[in-house]
Structure 1
Amino acid sequence: MVHEPNNWGRFGPDDQRGTLNLLTPDVVLAALSAATTGEVLNLAMPIRGATSSPAPTTVPHLRGRPLPQHFMSVDGGDYAAGARPIGDGLCVADDALIVTPHGTTTHMDALCHMWSGGQVYNGHPAARVRSYGATRCGIEQVGGVVARGVLFDVPRRLGLDHLPADFRISAELLEEIATPRPGDVAVIRTGWPLVWERSREEYWSGQPGLSADAGRWLAAHDVSVVAADNAAIGGLNVRGLADEGLADDLHLILLHRHGIHLIEMLWLEVLGAAGPAEFVFVVAPLRIEGGTGSPVTPLAIL
């Protein structure tokens, strides 16, 4: 049962897209005017093999999530060893990728990803999330997202390279930086991925993130998506867990109660250096029927 302001029923009893419904054709066309130079920035982390992925299985909320596996099924060595080319000398290289999106690479959470009680977003029965996939609020409901992006570069505002691990971003601090319009994508830079290059252990010793009041502030401004460069939108403690109770959990505030999709583990350093006040944000998840999330490559068009 939801006991605080929420978006259940706002877009109809059968809604599975949440605040993405705010991205009407008129809103999308208006968002396109945020681009002024045409420069395109890739905001995704690279998908690396298991030996270099920033997702150790010792972190509690990542247990059971296999690290990315990328391997070649056919490569040049096969032909050097005597494999026959296809047809008249044509050679081909093929590879395979196994990836669990949550916590292992840049990804978007579906509205079915997290809930409390017996219902996912909008009152759909949680029992509809089955062993073969979610039959309500799966990632395939997203389609494509084209919106105005607003960068909240919190470290730059405070004169830091990155936020400390125990820092929780307040609503007041977000308000000092910018005020989003309905349908905007709020892009939150903590700078924490810089720590990965310095120390793997420090990276997972806790993480900065949004506070509960900041999540509610963004929800009250009707953002369509919240995207951040940390692993969980909210902060993590030294055990890799959120300190908030269920009432203040960021995933429950945004995904479950307000139908706001989340994108985590972005690479925002180039965007932060460019320092745009606004830009065009473009992303589309893989069309995984019943998926709880998907790897994504968000783009910022300046």
Structure 2
Amino acid sequence: MTTHNSAVSFDDLPLDPNGPPGNAWGRFGPSDQLGTLNLLMPEVVVEAAKEIQTGVRISLDWQLSMPSYPSFNREPFKQELVLRKPNCIYDDILTFNSQGSSQWDGFRHYVVAENGGITGRGVLVDYADWAASKSISISALQSEPITLPHLKQIVEDHKLEFRKGDILFIRSGFTAAYNQLDSQQRRDLALRSSPDFNGVEATEDMLRWLWEHQFAAIAGDAPSFERAPIRGAHAKPNFNLHEWVLAGWGTPIGEMFDLEKLSQHCKTTGRYTFFLSSMPLKVGVL
């Protein structure tokens, strides 16, 4: 059985011939429930902790009430203050869809895993800021691809060096663009006939690049990480990222993280790597 210390070529996929295209099922053993989070070994976390140099802490959580009008026909966040008489005691009742605001598209069993949250070395690839610096016009609220050549150029320009087990963040500019909309514009956005948002291109080359770097998890500020809608004339049906990365490799996908303050800090300091600690909700499996 292949272990997490063994190199697996992209061309060796799928590992399980009975599984879907490109799967890595069985890589970490027949009973594994963590996928590429197995790459976050203690020594990897120790190295990641060395990224702590200034003590500056930046939350990547977007407001739980955002987006105020969710796309994909999802229910919005609800908050209710209930007065419990006769005493002056209020209960704050929150109702929300776990696919709203900042989220990890993980595995249902991961939320009850005993080894805690996602902790490791985060790396920001700031596509939105880089595009602006190159006078490249982009729109996070339209279906546009973030191409692999552009990502590679950002990596080169910012002198980024990836390590096995890194947690990749790509800033597309979505939360910044959404925050600029008024209430009616947000409502209209959710009612569009097609959920058009920018995101990474779903191609074989993109998948190869992600696999070669052996990220423990990947995330961004866009609603679906890959270009949305994830199916359509622009998308290659054989290389759907959610199917390959999430279901096939066991790599959590994070969406709608608020990367604005992180972007400003990284640009000011010239450092695009950081220590990351993220705790998924602990919810039992139904």
TM-score tier, shorter chain, comes to 0.7 to 0.9
In structure 2, what is the equivalent of residue 171 of structure 1? 148
Match for 1:230 among 202, 213, 222? Answer: 222
**Aligned-residue offset at 1:218:** 1.6
Residue pair 2:122, 2:167 contacting (<8 A) in 1 also: yes
Distance in 1 (alpha carbons) for counterparts of 2:82 and 2:231: 37
Partner Cα separation in structure 1 for residue 116 and residue 27 of structure 2: 20
User: Superposed, which structure 2 residues align to 1:92-171 within 5 Å?
Assistant: 92-102=89-99, 104-111=100-107, 137-141=109-113, 143-159=116-132, 163-164=138-139, 165-171=142-148
Q: TM-score, normalised by structure 1?
A: 0.73
Distance 2:276 2:97 in 1: 24
Aligned AA (1:53) = S
Amino acid at match of 2:265: A
Q: 1:232-282 deviations in whole A, cap 9, x for unaligned?
A: 011114xx8564244211111210111110111111111111123200111
Structure 1 vs Structure 2: percent identity of aligned residues? Answer: 27
Residue 211 (1) aligns with residue 208 (2): no
Aligned partners of 2:172, 2:79: CA distance in 1, in Å?
Answer: 29
1:57-72 maps to which residues of 2 (within 5 A)?
Answer: 62-63=72-73, 65-72=74-81
Q: Is the 8 A contact 2:22 2:244 kept in 1?
A: no
Change (3 A) 1:69 1:233: same
> Residue 58 of structure 2 aligns to a residue in which SS?
strand
C-alpha separation in 1, matches of 2:235 and 2:19: 17
Residue identity opposite 2:223 in structure 1: A
**TM-score scaled by structure 2?**
0.76
**SS of residue paired to 2:238:** helix
Separation of aligned partners in 1, 2:69 and 2:55 = 31
| 2:39 is the alignment partner of 1:22 | yes
Instruction: Quote the residue 1:195 is aligned against.
Output: 177
**Which runs of 5 or more residues in structure 2 are unaligned?**
1-17
Contact 2:171 2:220 in 1 (8 A): yes
Does 1:259 find its partner at 2:250? yes
SS at match of 1:220: helix
The residue identity in structure 1 corresponding to 2:81 is M
* Coordinate RMSD, CA, aligned: 2.5
Unaligned ranges ≥5, structure 1 = 57-61, 86-90, 112-133, 292-302
Amino acid corresponding to residue 163 of structure 1 in structure 2:
I
